[in-house]
């Protein structure tokens, strides 16, 4: 979603603003812009589309200013256009904004009455006008920005540049992430701490209500009461957003292929039950109910974990979509309730909102987060890092598999703590997963072949039962977001209650079925589809393949493994499939249209 990058230095900053914005491209955006101070006056350059277009515009008349703000905009209010792109300007003030100003209409009306002239359709444009208005009454920039913040409802991160204070950048955070860094070459701020690589070694993560002033000599961070504060320091991962895709054609492909190492890293770090339990603020022996909350792909990881908790650890568990949970009427809290919130970015606005609601209700929250220093990582009562490493491709792959692996380890630790038997057998199965995932990755040519055959499909169905049902949903989600083919996932047993009407010879049906307790049930459902002319691509182990060879048009084989870990392994061919279908359709697989990596608005 929107990205902010700003810098004050002893040299011209335009090139580094572009570099910073490129590092934020993965968040998703549709226009970009910068503003610098040129001989005391604000100069703004904005373009629609990729940062390359902005870079070309900047190169054609390079700004010389040594202080500037930059932005990549993911449109919310008003279409992607040069006018709606940030920075937004009012007399003497330029502002970039991430988030949503919910009361922008009434603010706009009030400011118009005072003589403001708006040129965009955005909610954000009220901010520079509010600052300008307060400064006209004598306020310094920081006070004017804070006053504007008091008038705004919603979530935001704002960076401002003013002509009256030409050596200082001003920033304010409420709800949307902002990291501030300082190094030999001045100070910088960004929506993602890793975008500061090369400008600072460490970043301070602003907290809600914080403001910051950045100059060439240092940074000054204040809390909502205006008191000087030190904030959590995050070590910047130099390799994170600055490296390319390491010889892979795309980040998504690189991230899919990294998965054996990611799983191995998780299993080594959280190998012992103590390494999990020692991070918790609650005791699994006393837990009576778990609510798992997340969005999108992370929600699908939560859905699988719900089954695992019930089946393996014997704990009642439920799963909720964060955006629904936030506003849902809830039953009274029971003793022993805990919640697990799951997020790659740790900044998803709905998941953060759900976490706040849980905390208000006094429910202990365990956060599973990939992005160090993010809001959920900081604010959850306890936190287990996902250790996937930076995920740049917008479609989540290795973070999903990391979520499943970490959740599997937690479930086993919970089961052990509660005295359940059989944990060591399941743990041995988990330890073998990296090898099985590598074996699936070696089978990539077979996936490419199937991708080629389904490329022209207008829609695709994914079906599975039990543990493989969430994987079917994830397969469909991956397919639709990367290839724009309409794809739906269903519980295989549910198909005959309606969706089977969609089955015809042009619609590929990806059936997830491997030998295990539900195999025969799922095999019957697959036969029902075949009997109606469905084109079945079986994703399963050899035994499943043999049993269904008469009805499967094509097959993607996965190694045989215990039911518990089969979902992790069965996910891999579906990720590769979504990737190759998208690439063969000529699409921008790392940055699919309309999507954002970090969804910081609700
Ligand atoms: C899908 C995808 C999204 C995210 C969702 C939650 O590939 O990436 O569905 O899973 O936006 O994001 P996080 O995990 O950052 O909270």
Q: Which residues of the chain register pLDDT less than 50?
A: none
Q: Distance between CA atoms of 278 and 281, rounded to whole angstroms?
A: 8
Q: Whose CA is nearest to atom 16 of ligand 1?
A: 343
Atom of ligand 1 nearest to the CA of 399: 14
- Ligand 1 neighbourhood includes 396 CB (under 6 angstroms): yes
Distance CA 587, CA 577 (A): 14
Q: For residue 501, what are the CA distances in angstroms to 10, 267, 461, 505, 590?
A: 66, 43, 12, 12, 33
Query: Would residue 64 show up in a list of annotated catalytic residues for this protein?
Result: no
Which residue, among 146, 396, 166, 417, has the nearest Cα to 272 in the 3D structure? 417
Q: Where are the alpha helices (DSSP H) in 273-348?
A: 273-277, 296-308, 322-325
Per DSSP, the three-state class of 344 is coil
Counting from 1 in the atom list of ligand 1, the atom nearest the Cα of 297 is 10
Mutation test of ligand 1: which of 302, 320, 344 has the most ligand atoms closer than 8 Å to its C-beta? 344
297 C-beta closer than 6 A to ligand 1: yes
Q: How far apart are CA 142 and CA 210, in angstroms?
A: 11
Q: pLDDT of 413-457, one tens digit each?
A: 999 999 999 999 999 999 999 999 999 999 999 999 999 999 999
**Which phi and psi (to 5°) does residue 384 adopt?**
-120, 115
- Contacts for 32 with CB less than 8 Å, ≥ 6 apart: 21, 46, 47, 50, 51, 53, 54, 70, 71, 72, 73, 85
Q: What local confidence, expressed as pLDDT, does residue 243 receive?
A: 62
Q: Which numbered atom of ligand 1 lies nearest the CA of 351?
A: 16
440-602 folds as Rossmann fold (3.40.50)
**Residue labelled with tokens 């944990």:** 423
Q: Which atom of ligand 1 is nearest to the CA of 345?
A: 15
Kindly report, residue by residue over 102-115, the tens digit of the pLDDT: 999 999 999 999 99
User: Which residues sit opposite 210 in a β-bridge?
Assistant: none
Give 370 Cα–ligand 1 centroid separation in angstroms. 11
- Going from the Cα of 447 to the center of ligand 1, the distance in angstroms, rounded, reads 24
Ligand 1 centroid – CA 296 distance (Å): 5
Q: Report CA 311 to chain centroid distance, whole Å.
A: 29
Decide: 395 in ligand 1 pocket, CB within 6 A. Answer: yes
Residue carrying structure tokens 């829609």: 459
Residue 323, ligand 1, Cβ within 6 A: no
Between the CA of 567 and the centroid of ligand 1 the distance, in Å, is 18
Nearby residues of 137 by Cβ (< 8 Å), 6 or more positions away: none
348 CA: nearest ligand 1 atom:
16
Query: 407, 265 in Cβ contact below 8 A?
Result: no
Candidate of 1, 177, 293, 298 to mutate for ligand 1, largest count of ligand atoms within 8 Å of Cβ: 298
Two structure tokens written together for 535: 């084109």
Record the pTM. Answer: 0.89
What pLDDT sits at residue 242?
Answer: 62
Return the ligand 1 atom nearest residue 296 CA: 9
- What is the CA(476)–ligand 1 centre distance, in A? 14
Residue identifier of the C-alpha nearest atom 4 of ligand 1: 296
* Residue 211 near residue 171 (C-beta atoms within 8 A): yes
In this structure, the number of other CB atoms found within 10 A of the CB of residue 279 comes to: 15
Residue 601 Cα to ligand 1 midpoint, Å, equals 13
Ligand 1, closest atom to CA 403? 14
**How far is 64 from 67, CA to CA, in rounded Å?**
9
Closest ligand 1 atom to the C-alpha of 395?
A: 7
According to CATH, where is 3.60.20.10 located in the chain? 3-242
Report whether 203 contacts 180 (CB < 8 A).
yes
User: 131 CA distance to ligand 1 centroid (A)?
Assistant: 34
pLDDT in tens, 318-363: 999 999 999 999 999 999 999 999 999 999 999 999 999 999 999 9
d(CA 53, ligand 1 centre) in Å: 27
Alpha carbon separation from 138 to 133, 155, 164, 170 (Å, rounded): 9, 27, 11, 17
pLDDT of residue 600: 81
Instruction: Give yes or no for residue 481 CB within 6 A of ligand 1.
Output: yes
Helix/strand/coil percentages in the chain, nearest 5? 40, 25, 35
Q: What tokens does 320 get?
A: 């909720």
Q: What is the rounded CA–CA span in Å between residue 266 and residue 371? A: 15
Which residue's alpha carbon is at the smallest distance from atom 9 of ligand 1? 296
In Å, the largest CA–CA distance within the chain is 81
Neighbours of 549 (CB within 10 A): 10
Tell me where in the chain the CATH 3.40.50.10490 domain(s) lie.
246-431, 440-602
Per CATH, the number for 246-431 is 3.40.50.10490
- C-alpha 343 – ligand 1 centre gap (Å): 7
- Which residue, by CA, sits nearest to atom 5 of ligand 1? 296
> For residue 177, what are the contacts with CB-CB under 8 A and spacing of at least 6?
98, 157, 191, 192, 205, 206, 347, 374, 375, 598, 600
Q: Which two tokens stand for residue 221?
A: 């961070």
- Separation CA 187–CA 67 (nearest Å): 10
Question: What DSSP assignment string belongs to 4-37?
Answer: EEEEE-SS--HHHHHHHHHHTGGG--SEEEEEEE
Residue 285 has a CB neighbour count (10 Å cut-off) of 10
Cα distance between residue 242 and residue 217, in whole Å: 25
The residue ranges of DSSP E strands in 378-473, in sequence order, are 382-385, 459-464
Q: Which of 497, 275, 287, 305 is nearest to 385 (CA)?
A: 275
Selection from 88, 86, 68 nearest residue 29 by Cα: 86
Q: Is 594 helix (H, G, I), strand (E, B) or coil?
A: coil
Catalytic one of 22, 478, 480, 597: 597
Ligand 1 atom closest to Cα of residue 400: 10
Distance 35 CA to ligand 1 centre (A): 31
Q: May I ask the CATH architecture of the domain 3-242?
A: 4-Layer Sandwich (3.60)
483 lines ligand 1 (CB under 6 A): no
**Cα of 286 from ligand 1 centre, angstroms:** 31
Q: Is 374 touching ligand 1 by the criterion CB < 6 Å?
A: no
Phi, psi of 35 (to 5 degrees): -135, 135
Does the active-site annotation cover 480?
Answer: no
Pocket test for ligand 1, best of 255, 297, 370, 399 (most atoms within 8 A of CB): 297
How far is C-alpha 554 from the geometric centre of its chain's CA atoms? Answer: 33
Could you tell me the sign of the dihedral formed by the alpha carbons of 238, 241, 247, 248, in that order?
Answer: positive
Q: Which residue has the tokens 């792959």?
A: 397
CA distance 240 to 26: 12
In short, whether 343's Cβ falls inside 6 Å of ligand 1 is yes
Q: Which of 296, 404, 477, 596 to mutate to test the pocket of ligand 1 (most atoms within 8 A of CB)?
A: 296
Is the CB of 345 inside a 6 Å radius of any atom of ligand 1? Answer: yes
Peptide bond into 87 cis (omega under 30): yes
Residue 498: CA count within 13 A, CB half-sphere: 5
CA-CA distance, 25 to 22, in Å (whole number)?
A: 5
Beta strands in 306-418 (DSSP E): 316-321, 337-343, 365-369, 382-385
The closest residue, in CA terms, to atom 10 on ligand 1 is 297
Our answer on whether the CB atom of 296 is closer than 6 Å to any ligand 1 atom is: yes
For residue 552, report the distance from its CA to the centre of ligand 1, in Å. Answer: 32
Give the active site residue among 2, 46, 295, 522: 2
Strand positions, DSSP E, 57-201 = 67-73, 88-90, 93-101, 154-162, 169-174, 179-183, 186-190
């Amino acid at each position: 979603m929107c990205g902010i990058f700003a810098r004050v230095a002893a040299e011209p900053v335009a090139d580094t603003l572009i570099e910073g914005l490129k590092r934020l491209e993965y968040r998703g955006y549709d226009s970009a812009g910068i503003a610098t101070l040129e001989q005391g006056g604000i100069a703004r350059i904005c373009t629609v589309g990729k940062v390359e277009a902005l870079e070309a515009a900047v190169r054609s008349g390079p700004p010389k200013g040594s202080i500037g703000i930059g932005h990549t905009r993911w449109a919310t209010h008003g279409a992607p256009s040069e006018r709606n792109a940030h920075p937004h300007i009012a007399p003497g003030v330029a502002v970039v904004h991430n988030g949503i100003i919910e009361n922008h209409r009434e603010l706009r009306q009030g400011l118009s009455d005072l003589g403001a002239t708006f040129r965009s359709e955005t909610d954000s444009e009220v901010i520079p006008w509010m600052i300008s208005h307060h400064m006209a009454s004598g306020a310094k920039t920081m006070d004017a920005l804070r006053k504007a913040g008091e008038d705004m409802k919603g979530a935001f991160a704002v960076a401002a540049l003013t002509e009256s204070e030409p050596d200082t950048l001003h920033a304010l955070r409420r709800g949307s992430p902002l990291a501030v860094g300082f190094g030999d070459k001045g100070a910088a701020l960004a929506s993602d701490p890793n975008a500061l690589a090369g400008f600072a070694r460490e970043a301070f993560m602003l907290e809600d209500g914080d403001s910051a002033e950045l100059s060439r000599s240092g940074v000054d961070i204040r809390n909502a009461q205006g008191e000087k504060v030190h904030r959590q320091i995050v070590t910047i991962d130099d390799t994170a957003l600055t490296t390319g895709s390491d010889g892979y054609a795309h980040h998504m492909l690189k991230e899919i292929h990294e998965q054996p190492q990611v799983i191995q890293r998780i299993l080594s770090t959280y190998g012992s039950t103590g390494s999990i339990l020692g991070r918790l603020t609650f005791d699994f022996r006393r837990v009576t109910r778990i609510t798992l909350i997340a969005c999108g792909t992370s929600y699908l990881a939560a859905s699988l974990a719900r089954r695992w908790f019930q089946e393996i650890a014997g704990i009642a568990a439920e799963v909720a979509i964060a955006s629904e949970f936030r506003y849902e009427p809830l039953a009274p809290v029971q003793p022993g309730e805990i919640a697990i919130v799951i997020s790659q970015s740790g900044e998803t606005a709905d998941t953060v909102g759900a976490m706040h609601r849980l905390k208000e209700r006094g429910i202990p929250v365990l956060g599973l987060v990939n992005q160090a220093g993010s809001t959920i990582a900081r604010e959850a009562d306890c936190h287990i890092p996902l250790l996937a490493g930076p995920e740049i491709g917008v479609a989540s792959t290795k973070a999903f598999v990391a979520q499943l692996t970490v959740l599997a380890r937690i479930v086993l630790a919970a089961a052990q703590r509660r005295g359940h038997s059989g944990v060591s057998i399941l743990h041995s199965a988990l330890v073998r997963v990296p090898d099985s995932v590598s074996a699936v990755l070696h089978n990539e040519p077979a996936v490419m072949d199937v991708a080629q055959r389904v490329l022209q499909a207008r829609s695709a169905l994914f079906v599975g039962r039990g543990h493989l049902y969430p994987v079917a949903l994830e397969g469909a989600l991956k397919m639709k977001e990367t290839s724009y083919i309409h794809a739906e996932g269903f519980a295989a047993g549910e198909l005959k209650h309606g969706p089977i009407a969609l089955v015809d010879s042009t619609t590929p049906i990806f059936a997830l079925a491997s030998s295990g307790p539900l195999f025969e049930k799922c095999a019957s459902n697959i036969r029902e589809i075949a009997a109606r002319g469905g084109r079945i691509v079986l994703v399963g182990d050899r035994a499943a393949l043999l049993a269904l060879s008469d009805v499967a048009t094509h097959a993607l084989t996965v190694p045989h493994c215990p039911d518990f870990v089969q979902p992790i392994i069965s996910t891999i061919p579906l990720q590769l499939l979504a990737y190759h279908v998208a690439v063969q359709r000529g699409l921008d697989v790392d940055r699919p249209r309309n999507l954002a990596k970090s969804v910081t608005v609700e």
